Amino acid sequence: MIPSGGRFWHVEPVMGTMVGIRSPDPLREDAVAAAAAVLHDADRVFSVWNPDSPMSRLRAGRTAMDDLAPDDAATIRSVLDRCAVACELSEGAFDPWSLPGGVDPTGLVKGWAVGRARQVLVEGGHDTVMVNGGGDIAVAGRPDGRSWRAGIRHPMQPTQLAAVVEVTAAVATSGNYERPGELLDPATGRTARGVISATVTGPELDLVDALATALAVRGGPMLEAIGGLVGYGAYLISDEGRHYASGTMTFATP
């Protein structure tokens, strides 16, 4: 997604992507450093690419939850609790416990970390700010009195936008077009098909992130389910190029 709004930037390489912090006001160094520390700590705890991370050691059976540092164990339990909420809301379309190799909260944890970084910035004095973690976006405030906006890249026309959505809290997009075959349907264990781009908006980025994955996996039924959640909106593009929306999704002029 392509965000708009904000004049001051900081870019932090972390979690295998570039996390952008954006504000119409000058960014305070101490607030940015605290937000970056949150992101790096999440990467330290949850990276499944690092075989020595606490999450990797748990997945491999090389350690038990009770043997982890207390803070790490508490963090993992908290994230897995959020995964359980997302699994229930998505009726199993998002299910980290179904993935090969053991439970893997990757589909929620980036949104969780970016949302926490946004909160740290707000507590550090930034009333109007956007944190963009590779398309998982959390915002606060209204730049110049207007809503933040995010452009959704067209999966069939990479130089074009499929839509522009207004964001009051969080937005995330998932799909098969950037890394085909990566999304699996927990019900079948096979590659999810039928949806090439799935976007969800809502109040909490960790659940928005997970529900975007669920929408990309399940398609139409999940579109309807998300539309029924208070404060959430959904937008998908099918593999036939058709566009569908539900819930509180608000579109703006590109």
Mean pLDDT of 74-92: 97
The parent domain of residue 208 ranges over: 2-252
Phi, psi torsion values for 243, nearest 5 degrees = -110, 135
**CATH number, residue 210:** 3.10.520.10
Q: What is the chain's percent helix, strand, coil content, to nearest 5?
A: 35, 25, 35
pTM to 2 decimal places: 0.93
Domain count of the fold of the chain: 1
Q: Which two tokens stand for residue 56?
A: 């990797």
In single-letter form, the type of residue at position 186 comes to: P
Taking the C-alpha atoms of residue 232 and residue 35, their distance in angstroms, rounded to an integer, is 26
What b/e string do you get for 109-138 counting C-beta neighbours within 10 Å, with b at 16 or more? bbbbbbbbbbebbbebebebbbbbbbbbbb
User: Which of 111-115, 155-159, 240-244 is predicted most confidently?
Assistant: 111-115
- State the pLDDT at residue 7: 83
- State the pLDDT at residue 155: 87
Over residues 179-201, the pLDDT tens digits come to 555 677 787 777 778 899 999 99
Lowest mean per-residue pLDDT among 124-138, 140-154, 171-185:
171-185
- State the pLDDT at residue 254: 60
- State the pLDDT at residue 6: 67
Of all residues in the chain, what percent carry a pLDDT higher than 90?
83
What residues contact residue 209 under an 8 Å CB cut-off, 6+ apart?
107, 108, 110, 111, 112, 136, 172, 174
- State the pLDDT at residue 10: 96
Number of separate helices (H) and strands (E) present in the chain: 6, 12
Kindly state the helix (H) or strand (E) to which residue 65 belongs, with its residue range.
none
Lowest mean per-residue pLDDT among 47-56, 89-98, 112-121, 188-197:
188-197
Output the CA–CA distances (angstroms, integers) from residue 34 to 27, 28, 55, 71, 108, in the order listed. 12, 10, 23, 17, 21
Over residues 242-253, the pLDDT tens digits come to 999 999 999 987
Q: Determine contact, residues 171/161, Cβ cutoff 8 Å.
A: no
